[in-house]
Structure 1
Amino acid sequence: MSAFLEDVDRRVATTLTPERRAWLTRPRTLLIGFLLVHLIYFLALLPTIVVGGALGDLPLYRTWAEEGLNSQIWPGLTLPWVYPIGALAPITLAALGGPGLYLVFWFLMTMALNAGAIAALTDFGRRSSGYAAAWWWMLLCFVLSPVALLRLEGITAPLVIIALVLLARQPVIAAVLLTVATWIKVWPVAVLLAIVAVSRHRMSVIATAVVVSAGVVAGVWALDGLGYLTGFITMQSDRALQLEAPVSTPWVWLAALGSPGSFVYQNFAIATREVAGPGAAAAASAMTPLMILAISGVVALILLAKRRNADSAHLLLLGALALSSALVVFNKVGSPQYMLWIAPIIAVGVATDWQRWRIPAYLMLAIGVLTTLIFPVFYLPLIDGDPAALIVLTVRNAMLIVMLGWSVQRLWMLASGRATEPAVVAARVARSAVR
């Protein structure tokens, strides 16, 4: 793997001459690239925009918003909902221009947040080390555009990037952003957990998260929706194995091979495809306990590495990557947007140190390409058991396990004192000099 990546880096270095590197690290070039990418997005969406339509999950979001605004039937307030209550904010905000402009407003929200993420990574063009991360993030979003543009992760992922960049200087603002993101989609809690385990700002982050969450709960109580506040937890816990989840892969193959009792079916209640077969129900029941065990193990490694004086900034990102990867790998629900649970952490890692983060950076790009091939390109063939689509899904899911394995292995090295972290090396050199 190392030799392969070194060869890739050499080829990239050969292609990116000093002149080209200088051109790519100009604020004007980055701005042009950002606008060009989003212009391509807009042109791709234009036929749907012209007829007042919506794509991806947006038709469902729009329906929820219209029912709330017109009939006061609010998911999460007047009936159970699969999302945390904070998701109502962007879903409703996009509806303020009317149903015909829902896609336009959603696009503008994601564009504005992506602009904020790029600005944070590069410190508004002043941090040269952030340009590689900014270009990487734009490329990854382009590869994952069917979900980066059209699902709630397109809102939360840029918020996580901004929060991670701001953490050292503005921990309260970072905590507000992460807590808000968590109340929109649960996954940013992995980043909060890593911060609590590692950061010297943990008390500020915890206090801020508690205050923001208390405000959310108070608002829901005032709107008489407290009974549905935790509905997103119970609704997820009752779900079966979803088609694309890593754990579902064996049963997808069994269904494709015509194994008795194994099949793919439509869950109409939540509009998703799930798999059934011998042992599938037991596997679905076991995934939540396994996820808790995996997260507990990762946290233990983070705390051990912290005791060995590992570089706290690197450890925080590495821990967040391991935790977010565990949320994906040990999840019985597997959707393409889950790749955006992992990518924001890698983007910030790339901004801090390309050499340290090049393996997950390359791996995430490959995962992104395969994910878009799975959905929407090969999704219908996958449901029908097409072998080529099944191979793509299997390779993608194996890569997710590799991502988790890479981050856990790096944490283990730090926890066991086997890694040559700069801070550790400097401390050893200082001690030697004293002796």
Structure 2
Amino acid sequence: MLWLLAHDQYALLGRGGVAKEVWKLYFHWYGILRHGAFPSGDHLWQYPPGAGAVLLSPGLLPGLTYFQAFVVITLFTDALITLVLAYAGTRRGRSLRGAALWIGGLPLLWHIPLVRYDIQVTAFAVVSLLTVGRSARLGGAFAALGALVKVWPALALIGTPRGRGTRQAWTTAAVTVVTLLAVVAVLFRNPFDFLRQQGGRGVQIESLGGTVLMLARRAGWSGTTRYQYGAVEFVGPHVRAVADCSLALTAVAFALLLLWRLRARHWTPATPYDAALTAVLLFTVTSRVISPQYMIWLVGLCAVCLTTRHTTQRPVAWLILAATAISAVVYPAFYGQVINSTWRGCLLMLARNGLLTTAAVMSFVRLWRSGRAVPQREDADAPAGKDRVAALFPTGR
């Protein structure tokens, strides 16, 4: 990945456009943040206040340029996630497949993960999921920290079992968010300006709705594409209707997750992990934007699921890995084909988003069935092998 980043001037690697987000956009925001303010009136700034801490962190490494320091911190965070997954996999009844999936899955996105801050966000969700079972308060705190950076890590708590632990995790998360937002509001100017920039977003060309509009464009639809709000989006007739449909589907996804939580009767050690993956996958698929770096989140959550042998999401993980590989082909290699809605671009997006949609449906169905399953007490309580024989013949005969 580092080699690709060092040679990203080649056409298939984006001619330097992938890394530009760090040394140009992030560095620009860094200059504003270090003077005690958040970007104001900037339609590209659409992130919660916690993102400011991540963008300021390269300043902690003297002697390096902002770009170099950002990459070093990203690599360090990548190593931290690997170590956490490996440690979780060495516990009794666990598996190292999660660490292996993270190590092998992340490079499928080429050098993109090194020049986005989504690895840092994913770290909060991974640590939250792997600690919430042992310390509900600590898991809730990490989920809150992640939510302050990019919202979605809050979904790490959606599958916690009912009871005192869940109340502790959610209460700690809420207190952490409110407290830190209050601190940020005192120390910085314009911390909530990002809320004004969300409503104007349209339909990104890589989203599920964008795939529909790509096919419509091939069929004669008069819309076109334009760079706005930090992404290439469709503009033209009926785009707003497609965006509204995406929001409606997101609401349906939330309702399905709420229904699952209300109806679920059976929890396994993997249920919090599986539920987090399902939730993020559903919200990703129904979003108006599906950037390639979003796949980092899904790979990280798949890795957490595979740390336990109780997970129901193994087939989903394979689909997500395939979609991740196609995402790197779409951007940056053939992004021009997608922008111009050529048949090659349409087929690539149909394949990627088809895999994600299939994974989302499969993930929810498997989560739902696992929650309705009746635990087999006889199998769980019955001793195995020689112990079972000893139980049947306590005198040793």
TM-score (norm 1): 0.77
Match of 2:86 among 98, 103, 122: 122
Aligned equivalent of 1:74? 38
RMSD: 2.9
Match of 1:266 among 227, 230, 233: 227
- State the Cα distance separating 1:287 from its structure 2 match: 2.3
Q: 2:207, 2:255 → 1: CA distance?
A: 21
Match of 2:75 among 102, 111, 119: 111
Aligned equivalent of 2:392? none
Within the alignment, does 1:248 sit opposite 2:207 as a pair?
Answer: no
Aligned equivalent of 2:14? none
Return structure 1 stretches of 4+ with deviation > 6 angstroms.
427-431
Aligned equivalent of 2:174? 210
Aligned equivalent of 1:303? 262
- State the Cα distance separating 1:355 from its structure 2 match: 7.2
Aligned equivalent of 1:37? none
Compared with structure 1, are the counterparts of its residues 55 and 199 closer, same or farther at alpha carbon in structure 2 (3 Å cutoff)? farther
- State the Cα distance separating 1:258 from its structure 2 match: 6.1
Match of 1:64 among 29, 35, 46: 29
Q: 2:197, 2:91 → 1: CA distance?
A: 43
Q: 1:86, 1:412 → 2: CA distance?
A: 33
Aligned equivalent of 2:97? 132
Superposition map of 1:384-399 within 5 A = 384-399=340-355
- State the Cα distance separating 1:201 from its structure 2 match: 1.5
- State the Cα distance separating 1:193 from its structure 2 match: 2.8
Compared with structure 1, are the counterparts of its residues 180 and 273 closer, same or farther at alpha carbon in structure 2 (3 Å cutoff)? same
SS at structure 2 position matched to 1:83: coil
Q: Is the 8 A contact 2:74 2:114 kept in 1?
A: yes
Q: 1:428, 1:96 → 2: CA distance?
A: 54
Aligned equivalent of 1:188? 153
Aligned equivalent of 1:93? 57
Name the % identity: 23
Match of 1:343 among 286, 299, 306: 299
Match of 2:253 among 290, 294, 297: 294
- State the Cα distance separating 1:389 from its structure 2 match: 2.2
Within the alignment, does 1:43 sit opposite 2:13 as a pair?
Answer: no
Aligned length: 373
- State the Cα distance separating 1:333 from its structure 2 match: 1.6
Match of 1:178 among 143, 148, 153: 143
Q: 1:235, 1:98 → 2: CA distance?
A: 33
Deviations 1:58-99, CA, capped at 9 Å, x for gaps: 121111102333x555326x8773100100011011144479
SS at structure 1 position matched to 2:116: coil
SS at structure 1 position matched to 2:226: strand
Superposition map of 1:300-339 within 5 A = 300-305=259-264, 308=265, 310-339=266-295
Higher RCO (CA 8 Å, separation ≥ 6 residues): 2
Q: Is the 8 A contact 1:261 1:278 kept in 2?
A: yes
Q: Which runs of 5+ in 1 are unaligned?
A: 1-40
